[in-house]
Amino acid sequence: MSKRTKLRAGVTALIASAALFATAPVAPAATVSLRLATAAPEKSVWMGMLKAWKTRVADLSKGDIDIELYPSGQLGAMDETLSQMLRGRLDIYTGSIPYLASVAPDLGVLVLPYLFDSEAQSVCVMSRLDAATNAALDGKGEFIAFMPVGWMNISSTTPVHVPSDLAGRKIRSNPLNVSNILLRAYGANPVPIAPAETASALSTGLVSGGDNALAFWASTGQARISKYYLQVHHYLNTSAIVISERSWKKLSPDQQKILHDAADAIAYPKVQKMLDGFEKKVIAKVTAAGAVVSTPTPEQKALWRKAGQGTWDEILKDASPSKRAYLAKIEALKADCN
């Protein structure tokens, strides 16, 4: 073979190789896996919300981002998973605002007694609070979305209609200062008790009622003992989805945008409707078993509201300027929503 023939053969082979590589399919980018921990049970309405977000993230990222869900406290209690998220050992924290407020105090105003006039107002405000909430986290993580846990109400072993019906009684409080202050304002003696121990405390007579969200009251066996449940709606319990700063900074801008954009699957009005439907089923189930779920009259509600809002000065006495600014943002949104 002549040198010219060899040269032509080499060039032909080179062109063929180039064409092969040019037409070969490009391997997909490596999937980013983000671990999300939640206390929500596997079959709960809140897991339904998280699964909707997971699915939307997968769709928008075309499978590039996978949210690994760990329900039922598999990775620890809320305070433990919050600590893991802050240290960058957990990618995504989902938990109630009272826990998150322990590291981002400005968020504590979200559980002020009777902060909202109605559920419609709360939905309107919470839907528009994302930017202010991210700022309030102050580098503790990237805020993605709120999810409603439910209104906090009064359960009791005997009928309750007005605050004076709790006078002198030992009532289970949340491990939250607002809960203790509020129950004292009602005339009760608050007894902080861990969630898992509440039903036992009722059985032994240590307490005769509690400050509870509906689903928690029904699912922990309390409804069989403290069967009277009065829907005073004295403060709103919400949870938040927050991504670890360490995990967030490892993501590309496009991936970060997808995680935010995917929150449209759990827009607050949408998930509030999911929770409302779930709570209707809960009420039907517990009332069929003998529990009594009631709502105060407008006159009775006014007494609860007066006592609850009378605690604001005590709760806010040491509030920082940024905490008061966050509250002012909420008040402005309330006025706009009205």
pLDDT at 338: 87
The helix (run of H) or strand (run of E) holding residue 261 is: helix 253-261
Q: What is the domain range of residue 147?
A: 32-337
Mean pLDDT along residues 195-200: 84
pLDDT at 304: 98
Q: Tokens 């007694």 map to which residue?
A: 113
Q: Does 11 score more than 70 pLDDT?
A: no
Please count the other Cβ atoms lying within 10 Å of the Cβ belonging to residue 18. 10
The helix (run of H) or strand (run of E) holding residue 241 is: strand 228-243
Q: Say if 249 falls within a structural domain.
A: yes
Q: Say if 125 falls within a structural domain.
A: yes
What is the Cα–Cα distance from 257 to 71, expressed in whole angstroms?
A: 25
Q: Say if 1 falls within a structural domain.
A: no
Whether pTM > 0.85 for this model: the answer is yes
What is the Cα–Cα distance from 259 to 336, expressed in whole angstroms?
A: 28
Domain count within the chain: 1
pLDDT at 219: 85
Q: Does 53 score more than 70 pLDDT?
A: yes
- Of residues 217 and 7, more confidence is placed in 217
Mean pLDDT along residues 185-192: 97
Mean pLDDT along residues 188-204: 90
The number of residues in the chain equals 338
Q: Say if 263 falls within a structural domain.
A: yes
Q: Say if 83 falls within a structural domain.
A: yes
Q: Report the CATH number that the domain containing residue 125 is assigned in CATH.
A: 3.40.190.170
Provide the mean pLDDT of the chain: 91
Question: pLDDT band at 49, cuts 50/70/90?
Answer: very high
Q: Does 173 score more than 50 pLDDT?
A: yes
Q: Say if 53 falls within a structural domain.
A: yes
Q: Say if 24 falls within a structural domain.
A: no
What is the Cα–Cα distance from 338 to 324, expressed in whole angstroms?
A: 21
Mean pLDDT along residues 92-109: 93
The helix (run of H) or strand (run of E) holding residue 311 is: none
Q: Say if 17 falls within a structural domain.
A: no
